[in-house]
Every structure is written in C-alpha cells, then in structure tokens.
Structure 1
Amino acid sequence: MKRVVCSIVAFTLLTGILLLYFSQTAAADILGRTYINAPEDNKKTEDPFSELDSFTKELPTVKEPQKKADEKSKLTLGQLRKKYKSTFVTNGPNVKRIALTFDDVPDPRFTPQILDVLKEYGVKATFFVNGQRVLNHPKLAKRIHDEGHVIGNHSFTHPDFNKISMSAFKSEIKKTEQAILPITGYISKTIRPPYGEITEEQLIWAAEHKYRIVNWNVDSLDWKGLNKEQVVTNILSNTRPGAIVLQHGGGGHGSKLQGTIDALPEVIKALKNQGYELVTVPELLGIEKSK
C-alpha cells in the first residue's frame, strides 16, 4: 500500500514539473523569446510589447482633431474686417474722395515715373514701402516724402503674414519703421499687409498699438503686367466714393508696370472730371499719418 501511495505522489510531482515546463515554453513562444534562460551578457531584452507600442504611435494624436477645429474656427478676411472694423479698413467714408496707393516701393525702374506724373497733376498719394527697399534706395524714398506723399508700412521683406510667427511679424513692422524714421522723421501708423493677408492675433496687436491696417476695395491688377487700357478699366469701372485704389510702384525681377505708368494720367483726369478729390489715406480716413 505504501508503495502505491509513493508511486502516486511521485507521478503527480513529475506531472506537475512537466506541466510547468511546457507552460513556460509555450508562453515564451507566444511572446517571441525565451524567459527561462537569462541573456548571458545581461543586456536589456527586447520589450515583447514593442510592436504594440509602434502600432499605437501610428495612431492619430489628440492634436489632429484640435488642429482641424482651429482651422475651421479661423476667421476670413471679411469676418476680420467686421470684427475689427475700427482697425482693419478697405475704404473710407462715403464722400467724393479717393485715395490712390502704390505698393512695393521704392523701385528705381517705376517709382520715379509715377512720381513725375503725380507731380505734374498736383496729386498726393500714399506709398506703402518695403523697409529693405528703403535701405537700398534711400534717396528715392526721401523724394517720395519730400514731394508731399504719405509713406506707409508694407513690411520689411514682403512675407505672407499668415505664414510667419508673431515675433517675425513684429520684427517686419519695427524694422521698416526704423528704415523710414531717418527719412521722414515719423513712424507711420498705417500698415498694408503683403497680399492683403493678416491674422487675428496680428490685428489685435495692431489695435493695441494704435495702427490702422489698410487694404483696398479697388484693385487695378497691374501686378499682372496689364496694359494701359486694362488698368484704366479696372480702376474706373470700380471706383466709388471713399475708394482706396491698389496699384504698384515696384515689384520683383521681371515686373512689368508700364501699364500703370501710362494709365495714371488718364485715371487722374477721369476721376477729377467726375468730381473726386484725390487724397492720401490718412486724409481719407481722417487719421494722423504718424505718431
């Protein structure tokens, strides 16, 4: 009887040992490595869940939907104008006055000819300058000022404000102010954003610092290299009391603005014949040109 009991106990122990061994081996196979024998070099073993980690890293992060939500909530230029109407303008009051404006100046290829026409007809305009161009052509910038025209801020290097940081935006404005100051003796309070683009955060900063963002409601489209007739039509067919007209007095390499220069005398004469007074942007808006 004792022998039978001993045999049963021995059989049970052996069975348990075998089951334990095979269960560990099976577990090791599932996880893709052997846990029984530790690595001889004591190096850190591969995490059996590393594949799961790499899978979860590929899943969309919580920032994706937030980014899309932010893009949806971004206001259009039209909505920004309504929300910040005292800071962001495209036209003046409904009076028989019009402001002619010229961007991307000074440019020795085109700006002097525009100045000659304006002088001949006794018209004062607003020139939105790039700070870098002012530094490159200070005498021409001084001529704009000396002949009674208003100089506005059109950034230093002409970037799209939508694509730069707030610190870069402020730098573009401030560096242009410093370029203008020795020539004009004042810091312009009018800013025209390149391409007419601006963000809400930039608008808030501009409002806090008493700037006026000045876009336009009549576009000559002269930057396309249009001829005289096309420029005249684009301006005269869209002008109305209080209009701000966008033209260019400079541009990049290969720019063609002869159409603007040739059209200017006809535009001036036609507007005057219609009873319009041609004024600067600060005059049109009833604001100071500087601080």
Structure 2
Amino acid sequence: MRRHPQIIKTVLILLFTLFLNSVGWTASVDAGTSTVEETIHIKQSSKPASKDETSSPSSLSLGELRRKYKQTFKFKGPHVKQVALTFDDVPDPRFTPQVLQVLRSKGVKATFFIVGNRAVKHPDLVRQINNEGHALGNHSYSHPVLKKMKLEQFMQEILKTEDIIYRLTGKRPKIIRPPYGEVNEEEVKWAKDHHYMIVNWNVDSLDWKGLDQEKVKKNVLSEVGPGAIVLQHAGGGTGSDLTGTIKALPQIIDQLRSEGYTFVTVPELLGIPSLRVDTGVDGP
C-alpha cells in the first residue's frame, strides 16, 4: 500500500512531462506558421510595383486634368474661325520636306512638334522648319509614354529636347505635346511651374495608321470646327506611310479656306508667346 503514493507521483510526473511536450510542440508549430505568414506578407508588401503603380502619381483622367489646369493644358482654341494644323514626330526626311512644300505652296504656317533624337539626326530639317516661319513644339526626346515615367525622367525628356532645339534655332518652345497625348498630374504641375503649356488636339486625322488620302481628308473635315487643333504627322516609324497625309493636305487647306477658316500656329490660336519666358533649367 505504501507504493501507491509513489506510483501516483510517477504517473503525475509522466503526465506533466507529456503535457509540457505537447504545449512546446504546439507553440513551435504556431511559431513556424507565424514565421511563414510573416515572410509571405513581407514579400507581398515589398514586391516591385508595376509600371502603372510606379508612374501614376495622379489618377485624374486627361479631361479632369484639362479642367483642373485650364491655363496650362489645352486641346483646342477659342471659338473663332481659325484652325491650327499640327504635325508630330518630326523631323523625318521621308515626309517632312513634302509637308513643308505643301504648306509653302499654300502660304500656311503650322506647328511642328519635334522629337529630340530625330532632331540630332536631321538638324537641317529642324532649321528649315524654323526658317520657313512655322512654330516649334517639344515632343520629347525618345517618344515614350511620359505619364509612366518618374518626374526626373520626364524632365530629362523635355529639357534635353529643348536644349537641342535651342542649339539649332536659338529658341526654347513654350508648348509641349506628350507622345500619345498621355501625361500625369505631376508632370502638368511641373509644366505649369516652369512656364510651359501642354497642348493636345481635338481633331485626329488618324494618319499614323497609313490611311489613304480620302480617309485622312474625311477624318479631318468631319471634325473641324472653330478653334480646332488638328493632329497630323510629318514623321513616323519604320514602315510608316504618310502618303495619305501629304496628298490630303492641300485639299484640306482649300476646303477649310472656302468655308472661311484661316490657318494659324498653336501659339497664335491660343494667344500665347511661342517661347518660354523662363529659359532657365530648373529642378522639380
């Protein structure tokens, strides 16, 4: 009978030991699970952002940006019987000289938006555009989607092209046309603070698609109204065909003149200086 307390004591010790092992094992599993979950959480929160996440400081649409920055972001002029013809992606020796020849023969001044890396390759064409009295605009250096870029990259695209244009013509254009018309709020703010104006369009010829003469003509004439800013191209990528633009251009000019329109540059249409007042290269 004396052995019973000893047996009971032994049993209790064994049970207690088993209990401790059970608690320790459970804690170990819980700790391991916590570590795994924490690791997953860290990986998710520190993954590289997508391009849209990196480069979308503002979720405002282009329409909202135009309304918010009315004096900086334009896409058309006042309701007057004037039209501004604009030509993007210049200079291009395949098409720019032909467009210039048509404008010269018709006595029309237009606005050309210059791509910096093309200006480096074809400086004489930039000088010709300027010497023939057309307005100059900045169309970036490498034709990227600017709204997806960081502000510093955006600035480099604009300022590098501005310096090239200045070296070739002695001018620093006030107007910027972002490639594809895409820009974000941070970039518009910078443009405003540094005395630029963002200029898109309200009539699109869609000539970059390689459309024929009649389609280009229809796209323009069906949409033109007082104060229109017309988008066309006098340059393109490999394989581009702007024959339709070149053939349609004199007919577009003649038709609009017959309707009482006069042709002006973008700065003339908007009543703004063609050059920036502040020619310093400032930071953001």
* TM-score of the aligned structures, taking structure 2 as reference length: 0.87
**Counterpart in 2 of 1:103?**
88
Structure 2 equivalent of residue 14 of structure 1: 10
Cα distance per residue 1:168-194 (max 9 Å; x no partner): 101100000011001111111100010
Find the aligned partners of 2:100 and 2:187 in 1 and give their Cα distance.
32
| Letter paired with 2:13 | I
Higher mean alpha-carbon deviation, 245-254 vs 50-59, is at: 50-59
Matched residues in 2 for 1:25 and 1:241: separation? 86
Task: Compute the displacement of 1:161 (Å).
Answer: 1.3
Point out where structure 1 has 5 or more consecutive residues left out of the alignment: 33-46
* Letter of the structure 2 residue corresponding to residue 227 of structure 1: D
1:23 aligns with: 19
1:52, distance to aligned residue in structure 2 (A): 3.1
What is the distance in 1 between the residues matched to 2:65 and 2:244? 33
The letter of the residue matching 1:265 is: P
1:153 aligned to 2:149?
A: no
Q: 1:77 matched to which residue of 2?
A: 62
Aligned to 1:209: 194
Within a 5 Å distance, the mapping from 1:156-175 to structure 2 comes to 156-175=141-160
Q: Match for 1:204: what amino acid?
A: K
RMSD: 2.5
Match of 2:76 in 1: 91
Task: Give SS of 2:88's match.
Answer: strand
Equivalents in 2 of 1:56, 1:29: separation in Å?
Answer: 20
Structure 1 residue 8: Cα displacement = 5.1
Partner of 1:290: 275
Instruction: Return the match for 2:177 from 183, 188, 192.
Output: 192
- Provide the rounded CA distance (Å) in 2 between the counterparts of 1:157 and 1:263: 28
Letter in 1 for 2:162: E
Q: Percent identity?
A: 50
Secondary structure of the structure 1 residue equivalent to 2:113: strand
Amino acid at match of 1:194: P
Q: Which residue of 2 aligns with 1:53?
A: 35
Which structure 2 residue ranges, 5 or more long, are not aligned? 277-284
* Deviation (angstroms), 1:273: 1.4
1:128 aligns to what SS in structure 2?
A: strand
Give distance in 1, aligned partners of 2:78 and 2:193: 23
Tell me the amino acid that sits aligned with residue 51 of structure 1: T
Query: 1:18, 1:150 → 2: CA distance?
Result: 95
State the partner residue of 1:128: 113
SS at match of 1:239: coil
Looking at CA atoms only, which structure, 1 or 2, has the larger radius of gyration? 1
Residue 246 of structure 2 is aligned to residue 258 of structure 1:
no
Distance 1:191 1:285 in 2: 14
Aligned to 1:138: 123
Tell me how far apart the structure 2 counterparts of residues 24 and 238 of structure 1 sit (CA, whole Å). Answer: 83
User: Displacement of 1:61 after TM fit?
Assistant: 5.6
Partners of 2:84 and 2:151 in 1: how far apart? 30
Provide closer, same or farther for how the CA distance between residues 62 and 145 of structure 1 changes in structure 2, counting only shifts above 3 A: closer
Letter in 2 for 1:224: K
1:39-96: CA deviation from partner (whole Å, max 9, x where unpaired): xxxxxxxx862233323554676999xx99xx8x711111111111111111111111
Give the drift of 1:272: 1.4
* Secondary structure at 2:19 match in 1: helix
Which of 281, 285, 289 aligns to 2:266? It is: 281
Report how many residues are paired.
Answer: 269
Secondary structure of 2:83 counterpart:
strand
